[in-house]
Chain A
Amino acid sequence: MRIMAQVCMVMNLDKCIGCHTCTVTCKQTWTNRPGTEYVYFNNVETKPGLGYPARYEDQEQWKGGWELDRKGRLRLKGGSRLKRLATIFYNPDLPTIDDYHDPFTYDYASLINAPAGTKSPSVSARSALTGREMTPKWGTNWEDDLAGAPGRALGDPNIEAMAEKVKMDFESVFMFYLPRICEHCLNPSCVASCPSGAMYKREEDGIVLVDQDRCRGWRFCVSGCPYKKVYFNHRTGKAEKCTLCFPRIEAGLPTICSETCVGRLRYLGLVLYDADAVTAAAATADAQDLYEAQLQVFLDPNDPAVAAEAERQGIPHDWVAAARRSPAYALIVRHRVALPLHPEFRTMPMVWYVPPLSPVADVTAAAGYNEDNPDNIFAAIDTLRIPVEYLANLFTAGRVAPVRDALRRLAMVRTVMRAHQLGTHPDVDPADVGLSDDDAEDLFRLLAIARYEDRYVVPPAHAENAGRLLAQHSMSGCSLDEEGGPGMGGAGPEPEAVPGFHLQRQESADDSVAGRDQRGRLHLVVSERPSPGPLGPATLGGAG
């Protein structure tokens, strides 16, 4: 058993109002540079909808993620290693910029320079690729709030996979928002697809990154990722991806998208898992069992044996303690209300979602059922089926039961807590859905109250050794801060000006990166030592 810690995110979809604050703050932080105009480390999609890039979920088209070969072994859906080396001159599965969108800006100068007159001046879109005038035809969030449905939304691969066709008429339509970042997978196919070995998973916290100095622009990570969360910077010729805001995570702070989320629906916490069990779990024969299989990989930090072994294997004591308080672990394992996005891609994603109850409740209410009683709702589900089946296609490879159970628990918490508040006795029993009274309270605390300290339990990084070395270099800055690099943009505010950083420095003294480094900024480049991954040594052209 090899115990590793992973920073894991959970998003409570019921609360997402589709405001895109997360997208905007993420973009301002990481991708507001030429070459990354079309790059969204975080984006929010309206579901049902095509997503970004269009139809990215259809792996028959894009060949991202893993599949099983005839003998049931894992292999990259994009083909063998040999195939990749032979097709390196042209990647057959790469989306083009039009599948994302031709990035554009406006010719604002023409507003200012317009001659005085009666006509209001107007601006036209300019392509960031060519500098020429263009007409935007598609883009991220193009179909916001089902704009363009049914024309577009019916092209959603999750709908196409459904037995019963969804109707997009006004009465029976349902929708919700799906914010997406990189999943920082346990079995990342982007890393496995990178021929240069420039992509890696960090041993300490599981964050998946691209080494900008070692990327050679072979662009196989882009097609290898089934979530299309690696992007190609068209100016630098290198791949870039969501960093899970590692400089913030290392300082014990939540990511920018979480910090600024208006719905306060994001959770960050550690999950301990057995790295040796990942490959076998990802190779589970029936795709619908992958959700359960992934749960089996996670380890219980409250189990003294696990905690002792984790510390013996070098996971710091305060990290194990933080894992015990992890909201992610609570929502995923203890309460089983969070589900993985598309487990059938077999990458073992680590951003999980509490499925939205509202679209289900809306549809049941529209059909004349009383939405206050969870049993009522789920009696209705059996006749309506559509939203739940759709959610199952997103979160459990189509198996309805886990989605149904999670939604029932959510509905139960609502009913029980409403009764508590009103001082009445609900005529339902939480045990029916596998919840104790304490569980219901705990879920209420996590999901409804959702205080900052409960949402984010991020232990600061231990960088004793790295820090010691770093302290010798007076001139160290952020390695991503160079022009064109992901962190381009100069020195930024001194950490003292950022309340969170300040707090962390006091709390964690010399243990944290912020405590060690004079400037409170981490200089991140990592060792050359690739250790054997869960897939073991490679064999020619196939999965190891």
Chain B
Amino acid sequence: MNGITGFELFWWVILPYLALATFVIGHIWRYRYDQFGWTSRSTQLQEKRWLKWGSPIFHYGTFAAIGGHVIGILIPESWTHAIGIPEVAYRWFSAGAGTLAAVLVIVGVAILAGRRLFVTRVRATTSPVDWLALILLAIVIAMGIAETVGVNLLGSGYDYRQSVALWFRGLFVGNPDVAAIAHAPLLYQVHATAAWAVIAVWPFSRLVHAWSYPVWYLWRPFVVYRSRVAAPPNEPGTSGRRWRKIGARY
């Protein structure tokens, strides 16, 4: 860790850890105190023609992109080498699958963003923190796509696995390679910064819905019965169920 400035250390090490801490503590807090606010906050009631295409395309694209990140960033290059995948093949796979994911995400996001901006009924239901989360997400996605398509598919290519990934993985083992990210192209830096910001606002936004994917629905009996027991009162100072002020005033 030679030749890095205090600013770089703050930006690429301290901020990410702060974001992670916010992410973890924020989720615990929200889960405990705001079950009532924990929802996908669907807007299908307001508009369904665009959502029909935008939402599935966006979500499936996002899952592909997240999967790609896991492979590309969390799995070290040496492992893929070890199981005999040549660098060229990996690059083509990454660019091909990455492009497919990117196309899905961008089409999905374009539809969803257009809908959210221009369909008045939908726009009215967006809370401020959701705006923040959605804008940050849009930045992450735009930069990510510029990287995949602009740099790796059409451009000269940039081996993020030798640089950005080292820094990112390092964060989790307590030994981040700050120089690697600090010298990466600006695109990657913005992408990574906005991604940390998304992580930090995640627990406070609608994005928490992602953790509630109800897989256990597959095994549960169809009809749920419950019998009555007393509920504990709200914990002091938590004000119970709160309702986010969204929607048009009338």
Are B247 and A216 in contact, CB atoms less than 8 angstroms apart?
no
Residues of B within 8 A of A194 (CB): 224
Complex interface bits, B21-52 against A, C-beta within 8 A gives 1, otherwise 0:
00000000000000110111111111110011
Residues of A within 8 A of B42 (CB): 217-219, 232, 237
Q: Which of B38-79 contact A (CB under 8 A)?
A: 38-48, 51-52, 55-56, 58-60
Residues of A within 8 A of B230 (CB): 465-470, 473, 476, 523
A155 within 8 A of B: no
Q: Which of B195-237 contact A (CB under 8 A)?
A: 206, 209, 212-234
Contact of B217 among A197, A219, A535 (CB under 8 A): A197
A452 within 8 A of B: no
Are B120 and A216 in contact, CB atoms less than 8 angstroms apart?
no
Measured as residues with beta carbon below 8 angstroms from the partner, the interface class of chain A is: 35 or more
Are A535 and B223 in contact, CB atoms less than 8 angstroms apart?
yes
Are A132 and B229 in contact, CB atoms less than 8 angstroms apart?
no
Closest A residue to B56 using CB positions: A89
- The segment from B147-155, B185-193, B238-246 that touches chain A is B238-246
B172 within 8 A of A: no
Are B233 and A476 in contact, CB atoms less than 8 angstroms apart?
yes
Bound CA–CA A383/B119 (angstroms): 54
Closest B residue to A66 using CB positions: B222
A191 within 8 A of B: yes
Bound CA–CA A520/B224 (angstroms): 28
Query: Interface SS of chain B: helix, strand, loop or mixed?
Result: loop
Residues of B within 8 A of A312 (CB): none
Among B40, B42, B55, B60, find the residue whose CB has the most chain A CB atoms closer than 10 A: B42
Contact of B240 among A187, A473, A482, A540 (CB under 8 A): A482
Closest A residue to B209 using CB positions: A216
Are B36 and A218 in contact, CB atoms less than 8 angstroms apart?
no
A94 within 8 A of B: yes
Bound CA–CA A129/B120 (angstroms): 8
Are A214 and B35 in contact, CB atoms less than 8 angstroms apart?
yes
Closest A residue to B234 using CB positions: A475
Residues of A within 8 A of B243 (CB): 235-236, 482-485
Residues of B within 8 A of A360 (CB): none
Are B242 and A533 in contact, CB atoms less than 8 angstroms apart?
no
Contact of B223 among A192, A216, A479, A527 (CB under 8 A): A192
Bound CA–CA A126/B120 (angstroms): 13
Are B47 and A484 in contact, CB atoms less than 8 angstroms apart?
no
Are A96 and B229 in contact, CB atoms less than 8 angstroms apart?
no
A131-B249, A483-B242 in contact; A524/B59 too (CB < 8 A)?
no
B121 within 8 A of A: yes
Residues of B within 8 A of A (CB): 35-36, 38-48, 51-52, 55-56, 58-60, 120-121, 124-125, 206, 209, 212-234, 240-244, 246-250
New A-B pairs, 19, CB < 8 Å, besides A485-B243, A523-B230? A35-B247, A89-B56, A89-B59, A96-B45, A97-B121, A129-B46, A129-B247, A130-B248, A195-B214, A200-B226, A202-B227, A203-B228, A216-B214, A465-B230, A473-B232, A475-B233, A475-B234, A527-B229, A531-B221
